[in-house]
Structures are given as C-alpha cells and as structure tokens.
Chain A
Amino acid sequence: MSEAPADALLRVEDLHVSFATEDGVVRAVDGITYQVQRGRTLGIVGESGSGKTVASLTTLGLTRSKRSSISGRVLFEGRDLLALPEAELRAIRGNEIAMIFQDPLSSLHPFYRVGAQLIEAIRVHRDVSAKQARTRAIELLGLVGIPDPQRRVDEYPHEFSGGMRQRAMIAMGLANEPKLLIADEPTTALDVTVQAQILALLERLQRELGMAIVIITHDLGVVAEMADDVAVMYAGRIVETASAASLFADPEHPYTWGLLKSIPTLAGSREEDLLPIPGTPPSLIRPPSGCHFHPRCPYAQPDHSRIDPKLEPLTGDPAHHVACLLAPDLRRRLWAELQAGRMPEQALAAVGLQGEPS
C-alpha cells in the first residue's frame, strides 16, 4: 500500500499496450498515467481508436494474449493487477472491478435468460445458493429501475428494450458491489432520452453504493454530466487531464479545444460555425513523430514534429496536466480568441504565429 498515494483506488502508471498484427505492431496505449479516487468519477474522452477502451480492458486483464504486450503498472488498492496471475485477477473481475459495455444487446448472451446471467455473475464470486442468487438478481433488477423484476428476471435479452438491456448490464456489473465500475460508452447505442436516464441511474447508484466510476466516452456531454475528473486521450496517450470544472473552463490542449468546439450548444448563436477537427485519427502502427497531434493541429510549429511533449502540470493548477509544446500564455490567448468566435487561422494571426501548413 505504501506505493500508492493515500486514497487512490486505481492508479495506472505508464501503461503501454501493444498488439502484434499482420500489418505491424499497434501501439494502442502508449504510456498513460491516471488515477481514480474512491467514490469519484473519471471520464476518459477520445475518438474511436484513441486507446481508451484498450486501456480499460487491460485493467481487467482482458487484453492479455500471445499477441499483446503490456507494460507499466495498474495498482488497484496498492496491488499491481498486471503482475497478478490470471486466477487472482479473475477473483477481482466482476467482483471488485466491474465493467459494462457499449452495446447491451450484443453484450448479453442471447440464449440465456437475463436472470440466469445475473445469477451466474453473483455465484462466480459469492458462495450462495441458486435461490438466494435469484432473490438477489430480482433485487438488482429492481435497483436499476426495471419494472416488475419478478417477471423480467425470466425473460431473454431480446425481450428487453435497449435501455432496459443496459440497465440489466448495469445490474450485472453491480452484482457484487464493486468498488470500481468501468463503463465503456454506456450510452452510445441508446436513444438520447434513454441516455439521460442511464446516466442519472449511474449517478444515483454511485451515490448509494459509493463506488468509483470510470466512464469512457467520445461524448463531452456525458463527461460534463458525470465526471469529477477528465482525461483526454489521443492516439494512445493522455494529452490533457484535469478536474472537469477546470477542463471545461480552461482547456489547454488544442485537441481538447477541437472536441469542445465541435459540439453544438444551444447557448451559441446559430451563425457560430462548428469547428470540426480536420483529418482522421492517426495510425497506431506508425504514429506521427513528435507530438502525435501535430498533423491535425492548426497551431503546430515546425519543431513540433520533432519534439515529443510530456504531460506536465500547469504552474497555476497542479492538478491540471497537459502535453502541449505551445507556450502556456500562448495557449491561453489562443483559447480566448477561439472563445471569441475566431477561426483557428484568425486566432493564430491574432497571437502573431504562423501555422505550419500540413
């Protein structure tokens, strides 16, 4: 326990995950560090392929295979999960750390009743009779707001609606009262109204059960709703991490700016254009040199393709880390220009910089 900071429930240190494929080695996670405090919520944000899901699956040991290579440390209550043998890790999976997934229909087994799947999740970690487990399963379905759980417990996943399925998945995750729940895009496959219900449910359960949540999403709206802290991932790395309040008020990384400026807000005027991030996420087999974001960054300078930025704390806010080569005062001025409705080129000109044509 001495190695972990006082109250971090989960501390991921310099985690690298790569997979050998026929096209080459994919560096899905390239040295990330973050921590999750007890009872709090961390949002991990990024585009598809930024490594956010792989990082979380690795926490549970679900990326272990002959083709993957994993290094770093994943300390859960001071124990390094990466060093644990499979059997000990299994005792933690679904018990102390639970995970729920994006598409609840494909994530539930189509041939088993919802109740049977819940009972299985309970009995693998608890020495209870089938009858007790069933009672608990019904209780769990009630807890996640499924009406008439006595009856629904005997139904199959295809008889549930999308939102109900995700509730059932959550119930399964909560079966053993985990200390940490990892929710991987839990609302992406759902209707907007149902999304809000699921998020509200997660918040309520967190309050009632006191568990920590890692919510993985590409949706900053979800982060704003749920997270206490945020880590922004890009191309297998964390480029910015801060408390949610600080990240939304003073985002530091151009990628974060891009994410924030590409979501429509009701408050903004209709004339204000959305600013999509140009280009596509880079290949993780041959990632760009220097700052991984430089090919898509409107503010990149010539030397940014050579220098690899480190994730460093801000002088004014030590909890806020950013990996950007632009000078801090320059970043502040650029963000102010963007907030004033300028386009990236105008913002560049306003602060007296040249963009690097890419």
Chain B
Amino acid sequence: MTRYIVRRILWGVALLILVSGVLFVMFRVLPTADPAKLRAGRLQNPKIISEIRADLGLNKPLFTQFWLYLKGIFLHFNLGYSYYSNASVKSLIFSRIPATLSLVLGGAVIWLVTGLTVGIISARRPRSRLDRFSMGGALVLVSAPEYWLGLISLYLFAADIGKWKVFPGAGSYVGLTTDPWGWFTSLILPWFVVAAGNAAIYARLMRGSLIETMDEDYIRTARAKGLSERRVVLHHGVRSAINPILTIFGLDIGVLLGSSVLVETVFDIPGIGRLNYDAITHSDFPIVQGTVLLAALFIIVANILVDIAYAYLDPRVRYS
C-alpha cells in the first residue's frame, strides 16, 4: 500500500512537471506579446525593457529558461511576479485560497448532504410523486448554468438589488477570522449556487446506485437476518452505493477548487477563480500560469486521495 501511494505521488509530480511544460510553452513561447513589454507597462523605453529581459532571463535559451522556471516552481514554489501589481504570485494565491476553500467546501457539504438525502429517498420510493418531483427538479438544476443561477439568486434575494432583501449580495465577502457571522451570511447564496447543480447530479447518481444495490443478494441476506428496513438501507445498501459517488466527489472538489471562476466572479468573492479571471483580463500571464498550475495540483492531489480512499472504502481493492 505504501509503495503504491509513493508511486502514485511520483506520478503526480511527473504529471505536474508535464503541465508546467505545457504552461511554459503556452505563456512563454506562444504569446505574440513580449512579456518584457507587458511587464514594463507604461514605462516602455528600450533600456527598461532590456533590463526587464535580463531580469526575467528572457534572453537566455528557452531550455535554460524552462529549467530555471521549473526549479523556481518545485524548489521554491516561486511562480513569478504579477506583471500588473508586481506582487509575488505565490503570495497572491495564498491570500486568495481561504475564500475559495470556504466557497467550495461549504457548497460541497450542502450538495453532498442534500444530493445523497434526496437520492436515497427517491431510490426507496421509485416512481412516487416525490421521486418524480425531485428527479424533475434535478434535471432543471443540472441544466441551469451556474452564472445564470447566480444572477437570478442575486436578483431575487440579494440585500442590495434583490426583490426580497434576505441575504448579503455580491461583494459582501469577509474573511472567516475577521467576522464569522458576516463570512457565513455572505456565502449563503454562493454556496447554494455552487451546490445546486451538483446536488442534482449527486441525487440522480445516488438514486441509481442505490436502486441497483438494493437488488443485491447481500441485501436479501440483511433482510433475512431480521434487520429493520432502515438499517438494511443505510447500513447495507448505502454503504455500497455510496462508493462510486465518493470517488466522483473527490474529483469534483479538486476541479472546483481550481476553477470556481464563474461563481466567484458573479458574487465578487476574492478567491482563486476571481484572481484568475482578473489576470486573464489584464494579460497577467504569471498569475494565470500560477492559478492553472494550482488547479492541476488540486486535481492531481484529489485523484491520489480518491485512490487511497478507495482502498479503505472497498476492502477488495488492494493495491500492490
């Protein structure tokens, strides 16, 4: 098991190097704009530009540049400096991580709890009115784009522009440590928007998985033991049915941590996604590069965690 984990981590590192390479090509080799000019901003005279060139190492051969770039990333977590604000990308990203974590993890709790609950109830009464209603609702929510749901929720419930002024609107985010209550209320709408589509998908997945599981022979055995139906469903059915869903859950969290751009933009939450969006509009390549690399890291880590979790969730899986 340990060997397996080590191997997976090494693979993850290799993959990250590969992603870095692709990013390097995208942002250093392909752009038609000269990074030095972008960096120089309004102070565009040849002397300054050539100084910046030397400073960024742009006049060294590409391979040397790549090597320095990799060394910077993997040994010092140095992702360069923003062309726009001159701040280090590393510090920018670190300052933005709490907001994204708050948004994604809070949303994840909501979608996991509601999705699984609705899925289990639907599975126990297939074709009932409740089942039809929740599966129909799920279809609507799955189809609704996140930014649209976000705008609608602001239009309906935001304290500033809403029809019913219930929750704080866009731009109201404050850090958890600064003002816990403000943090919580400002995130209610974004959480529900993040959760809505996923809750719908998870409800459908859970329903399908549980209906299938309840036909298994070991469910019949559990009933034959004289267990209550509740215990049969939760302890025997859900325990098996939930496995594939937890796998997807891990990956979804990984993806979302790196790319909650739309919701963060609509609600003006200062997270990684928002940082990325702003950087793109300013052609601030080091930040874009840093956030994309971070997204890749999240997905790779999530993948490894899911694989490890699987071995604990399903005793038949033993990696060697």
Residues of A within 8 A of B (CB): 57, 60, 62, 86, 90-95, 98-99, 101, 103, 106-112, 120-121, 124-125, 156, 158, 169, 172
Q: Is there contact, CB below 8 Å, between A158 and B224? A: no
Known A90-B226, A91-B226, A124-B226; judge A101-B315 contact (CB<8 A): no
Partner of B217, one of A103, A124, A156: A103
Which residues 219-233 of B sit at the A interface, judged by CB distance below 8 A? 220-229
Q: What residues on B are CB-neighbors of A125 within 8 Å?
A: 226
Q: What residues on A are CB-neighbors of B314 within 8 Å?
A: 110-111
Q: Is there contact, CB below 8 Å, between A101 and B217? A: yes
1/0 per residue, CB under 8 A from A, across B213-250: the answer is 00011101111111111000000100110000000000
Q: Please give the distance in Å from A303's CB to the nearest CB on chain B.
A: 42
Please tell me if B159 contacts chain A, counting CB pairs below 8 Å. Answer: no
Known A110-B314, A110-B315; judge A93-B224 contact (CB<8 A): yes
Complex Cα–Cα for A110 and B217 (A): 11
Q: Is there contact, CB below 8 Å, between A109 and B240? A: yes
Q: What residues on A are CB-neighbors of B218 within 8 Å?
A: 106-110
Which residues 198-226 of B sit at the A interface, judged by CB distance below 8 A? 216-218, 220-226
Q: Please give the distance in Å from A70's CB to the nearest CB on chain B.
A: 16
Please tell me if B313 contacts chain A, counting CB pairs below 8 Å. Answer: yes
7 contacts between A and B (CB under 8 A): A62-B223, A62-B224, A101-B217, A106-B217, A106-B218, A109-B221, A110-B315
Please tell me if B316 contacts chain A, counting CB pairs below 8 Å. Answer: yes
The prevalent SS among residues of B at the interface is helix
In chain A, what residue has the closest Cβ to B227? A124
Q: Is there contact, CB below 8 Å, between B225 and A121? A: yes
Complex Cα–Cα for A95 and B220 (A): 15
Known: A106-B216, A108-B218, A111-B315. 5 other contacts (CB 8 A): A86-B229, A93-B225, A103-B217, A107-B221, A124-B227
Q: What residues on B are CB-neighbors of A99 within 8 Å?
A: 224
Interface centre among B222, B226, B228, B313 (most CB of A within 10 A): B226
Q: Please give the distance in Å from A351's CB to the nearest CB on chain B.
A: 46
Q: What residues on B are CB-neighbors of A101 within 8 Å?
A: 217, 220-221, 224
Q: Please give the distance in Å from B220's CB to the nearest CB on chain A.
A: 7
Q: Is there contact, CB below 8 Å, between B226 and A156? A: no
Which residues 286-320 of B sit at the A interface, judged by CB distance below 8 A? 313-316
Q: Please give the distance in Å from A9's CB to the nearest CB on chain B.
A: 18
Q: What residues on B are CB-neighbors of A103 within 8 Å?
A: 217
In chain B, what residue has the closest Cβ to A57? B220
Complex Cα–Cα for A93 and B223 (A): 8
The interface size bin for chain B is 20 to 34
Q: Is there contact, CB below 8 Å, between B313 and A95? A: no
Q: Please give the distance in Å from A55's CB to the nearest CB on chain B.
A: 15
Complex Cα–Cα for A284 and B4 (A): 53
Q: What residues on A are CB-neighbors of B316 within 8 Å?
A: 110, 156, 158
Q: What residues on B are CB-neighbors of A121 within 8 Å?
A: 225
Complex Cα–Cα for A340 and B311 (A): 62
Complex Cα–Cα for A99 and B220 (A): 10
In chain B, what residue has the closest Cβ to A108? B218
Complex Cα–Cα for A121 and B223 (A): 10
In chain A, what residue has the closest Cβ to B219? A109
Complex Cα–Cα for A358 and B113 (A): 61
Complex Cα–Cα for A92 and B220 (A): 15
Q: Please give the distance in Å from A52's CB to the nearest CB on chain B.
A: 16
Q: What residues on B are CB-neighbors of A107 within 8 Å?
A: 217-218, 220-221
Q: What residues on A are CB-neighbors of B216 within 8 Å?
A: 106
Q: What residues on A are CB-neighbors of B229 within 8 Å?
A: 86
Complex Cα–Cα for A172 and B221 (A): 10
1/0 per residue, CB under 8 A from A, across B120-139: the answer is 00000000000000000000
In chain A, what residue has the closest Cβ to B225? A94
Give the 7 A-B CB pairs with smallest separation, nearest first. Answer: A94-B226, A93-B226, A94-B225, A106-B217, A109-B218, A107-B217, A156-B315
Q: Is there contact, CB below 8 Å, between A60 and B225? A: no
In chain A, what residue has the closest Cβ to B222? A109
In chain A, what residue has the closest Cβ to B228? A90
In chain A, what residue has the closest Cβ to B235? A120
In chain A, what residue has the closest Cβ to B236? A109
Q: What residues on A are CB-neighbors of B222 within 8 Å?
A: 109
Q: What residues on A are CB-neighbors of B223 within 8 Å?
A: 62, 93
Q: What residues on B are CB-neighbors of A112 within 8 Å?
A: 239
Q: What residues on A are CB-neighbors of B220 within 8 Å?
A: 57, 62, 101, 107
Q: Please give the distance in Å from B124's CB to the nearest CB on chain A.
A: 12
In chain A, what residue has the closest Cβ to B223? A62
Q: Please give the distance in Å from B239's CB to the nearest CB on chain A.
A: 6
Q: Is there contact, CB below 8 Å, between B224 and A94? A: yes
Q: Is there contact, CB below 8 Å, between A95 and B226? A: yes
In chain A, what residue has the closest Cβ to B315? A156
Q: What residues on A are CB-neighbors of B224 within 8 Å?
A: 60, 62, 93-94, 98-99, 101
Partner of A111, one of B226, B227, B239: B239
Q: Is there contact, CB below 8 Å, between A111 and B313? A: yes
Complex Cα–Cα for A95 and B227 (A): 11
Q: Please give the distance in Å from B301's CB to the nearest CB on chain A.
A: 25
Interface centre among A91, A110, A158 (most CB of B within 10 A): A110
Which residues 129-155 of B sit at the A interface, judged by CB distance below 8 A? none
Complex Cα–Cα for A200 and B209 (A): 39
Partner of A120, one of B225, B239, B240: B225
Q: Please give the distance in Å from B312's CB to the nearest CB on chain A.
A: 10
In chain B, what residue has the closest Cβ to A60? B224
Q: Please give the distance in Å from A317's CB to the nearest CB on chain B.
A: 35
Complex Cα–Cα for A108 and B315 (A): 13
In chain B, what residue has the closest Cβ to A103? B217
Complex Cα–Cα for A137 and B218 (A): 19
Interface centre among B217, B225, B227, B239 (most CB of A within 10 A): B225
Complex Cα–Cα for A67 and B288 (A): 59
Complex Cα–Cα for A140 and B216 (A): 25
In chain B, what residue has the closest Cβ to A158? B316
Complex Cα–Cα for A62 and B219 (A): 11
Q: Is there contact, CB below 8 Å, between B315 and A158? A: yes
Partner of A108, one of B221, B226, B240, B313: B221
In chain A, what residue has the closest Cβ to B318? A158
Q: What residues on A are CB-neighbors of B221 within 8 Å?
A: 101, 107-109, 169, 172
